[in-house]
Amino acid sequence: MSLALAFAPLVGEPDTVVARRLAEDPAGLARSMRATGRERLLFIDQLEELITQAARDEAEIVAEGLHVLVVAQAARLIATARTDFLTRLAMLRGLGDDLAASLSLLRPLSEQRLFEVVVEPAATMGSRSNRSRWSSSLSPRHALPTAASLCFSSPSASSGTLAISCGS
């Protein structure tokens, strides 16, 4: 389980132990993560693979575990998912409850805003690029018409924020 591999160094336990804890005692895992005193941000790209690649029982374990970690304020979560999988993701216990309860639609970024959030931060890290080179690859015209960003907050609102960006 990829999630267990990611969490193992955070709690100082082997991934097999973390996988078992995620399945059997996600609240205990959340307590261990909180006990370190460090804030965690999880980024999961292509969350729809939870449905397309994992067995249903494993998908349920991961979804419930993510829900418990966020509600317990052990981690914040940002994930991407294709819009055509949202209803299937919403059917997952825990995470699906959060998703279904609090979606908000955000419009795609303009070409100028894309430049500001992608190219300018890269420049501060020493990347050299000119605007014309990035304009064609960052242009919103390359986005699918169905692309949208969806954000939602968990029941623990202020510190357990979940965001899902959907699109191509």
pLDDT confidence of residue 72: 92
- Mean pLDDT over the full length of the chain: 74
- Give the number of other Cβ atoms within 10 Å of residue 121's Cβ: 10
pLDDT confidence of residue 91: 92
pLDDT confidence of residue 80: 78
Is residue 57 within 8 Å of residue 65, measured between CB atoms? no
pLDDT confidence of residue 165: 41
DSSP annotation string for 37-81: T---EEEES-TTHHHHTS-HHHHHHHHHHHHHHHHTTS-EEEEEE
Report yes or no on whether pTM surpasses 0.85: no
d(CA 155, CA 104): 15
pLDDT tens-digit map of 58-86? 999 999 999 999 899 998 887 777 888 88
pLDDT confidence of residue 16: 94
* Residue ranges for the chain with pLDDT beneath 70: 1, 100-107, 127-168
